[in-house]
Structure 1
Amino acid sequence: MKKYLFICITLVSYNFVLAQEKLVKDIDFDGIKDTVYVDATSFEIVCRLSSAQFTKMRSKGIESSADNARLESTKNGFAFQSNWMRAGNANQFRYNKTLKKLQLIGMSRYEFGNAANDGSGESSVNLLTGDYIGDWNYFDHLANNENGKLVKIPTIKTKMIYKQIFLEDFSDATYYNFADSCYVLFSKYKKLEMKRREAGKHE
C-alpha cells in the first residue's frame, strides 16, 4: 500500500512540476508578455498570446517526449527540447506576423550512438530555407589494423524541404520524421565514405 501511495505522490508531484514550468515572454512582438507551457495532462504544448486574447493554442500530442522536455527562450521565440540518455532534439518556434501563427522554423538533433559511438553526431535543418547540415560518425571495425576506428563522415550539406509547420501541426511524429530523414542521409553518405576509403587503399 505504501509503495502505491509513493508512486501516486511521485506522479502527482511530477505533473505539478511540469505544469508549473512556464515560459513567460513577449512572443508575438506586441510588448505584452505571453505564456508557453507543456500541459501535463494532455501532453501538448500550449501557448497563450496576448494578440489572440490569450486563447489557448495547442500542439498535437508529444507524450513520448514530454517527460524529458523543457522550454527554452530563444532570440525570436522559444524552443521545445527533449533530451534522453544518448540522444536529444530541439524544435524552434517563431511567431509569424503575417499569418498570426506560431511557426516551426528549425529542428536539430544529436546522438551519441552505441558504446563505440557508431552513429554519433548532430544535424539541423532550417525550415525557412530548407538547408540541412549533418555531422556524423561511424565506427569502422576493420580500420587501425582491425582494432577499429571512429570515422567522421564529411559534413553533409543538402536541401531538406518541408511544407510550413505550425504549432497546431506539431507532434512527436514531426521530429521522428526528421530523424528518419537524417538516418537516410547518414546511411547514404556512410556508404560513400566507406567506398572512398576502400578505394584509397588501392591507389
Structure 2
Amino acid sequence: MKKIVLITSLLLIKLSAFAQEKLVKDLDFDGKKDTVYIDQKAAQIVCRLSTQNFKKLKSKTFEMSSNNTFIKSTRNGFELRNNWMRAGFACQFRYEKKEKRIRLIGINEYAFGNAANEGSGEASANLLTGDYIGNWNYYDHLANNEKGELVKIPTIKTKMKFNKIYLEGFNEESYFSYQTQLEGPVEKHKTAEKNRRAKTK
C-alpha cells in the first residue's frame, strides 16, 4: 500500500512539474487564454492562440534545448530563457496585432566569463527600436603591478539594425547571429578603454 501511495505521489509531482512548464495567458489580446510551451521531444516552442483556432504555431528546432531552457511570462508576452553553466540569455516575444504573428522583440544576455571573469557582464537589445546597452568587463593582466585587475568597459550604448524575426523562424541561431553582430562594437569599446588606460599609466 505504501509503495502505491509513493508511486502515485511521484506521478502527481511529475505531472505537476510538467503542467507548470506550460504558460497559460492571453497572448493575442482578445480576452481569451492562450498557451505557450516547449515541446521537449521536438525541441520547439509551441504556441496555441485563440485568434488562430488554437492551431500549433512552432519555432524551428533547438539544438541546445535542456532542462535549463524554459518559458516565462513577461508583461506583454513571454520569453524563452536558456541558462548554461556560466552564461545565458532570454529572448522576449510579443504578438503583433497587425501582422497576426508572434515576433521576437528583445534579447537579454549575461556571462560570468572565465575563471578571471574575462568577458563577464550583461547586455540587452530592443529589436523594435534597435537600442543596445551593454555592460562588459575584461581582465587586464598587467594592471595592479601585474597582479591583474578586472576592468569595466564604459557602458556601451549604440543603435543596431536587427532584421524582423518571427516565432516560426526562431531558434538559438537567432541569438547567436545577434551575438556575432555585436562582437564588433564590444571589441571596439574594449580596445578604446585599453588605449585610454594605457595613456594614463
Q: TM-score, normalised by structure 2?
A: 0.89
How far off is 1:182 after superposition?
3.1
Q: How does 1:13-28 map to 2 (within 5 A)?
A: 21-28=21-28
Q: How does 1:11-160 map to 2 (within 5 A)?
A: 21-160=21-160
Q: How many residues align?
A: 189
CA distance in 2, matches of 1:43, 1:20: 17
CA distance in 1, matches of 2:186, 2:67: 28
Taking only aligned residues, the RMSD between alpha carbons, in angstroms, comes to 1.9
How far off is 1:19 after superposition?
7.7
CA distance in 1, matches of 2:18, 2:129: 33
CA distance in 1, matches of 2:181, 2:83: 19
How far off is 1:17 after superposition?
5.5
List per-residue Cα deviations over 1:86-131 (Å, max 9, x = no partner). Answer: 0000000000000000011000100000111010001111000000
Matched letter for residue 131 of structure 2:
D
Q: Structure 1, unaligned stretches of length 5 or more?
A: 1-13
Matched letter for residue 90 of structure 2:
A
Say whether residues 1:163 and 2:166 are aligned partners: no
Q: TM-score, normalised by structure 1?
A: 0.88
SS at match of 1:177: helix
Question: Would you say the 8 A contact 1:18–1:38 is kept in 2?
Answer: no
List per-residue Cα deviations over 1:154-197 (Å, max 9, x = no partner). Answer: 00011121121110111110001122233332222111110111
List per-residue Cα deviations over 1:20-56 (Å, max 9, x = no partner). Answer: 6100000000110000000111100000000000000
CA distance in 2, matches of 1:102, 1:23: 15
Q: Structure 2, unaligned stretches of length 5 or more?
A: 1-13
Identity of aligned residues (%): 57
CA distance in 1, matches of 2:117, 2:182: 17
CA distance in 2, matches of 1:199, 1:19: 58
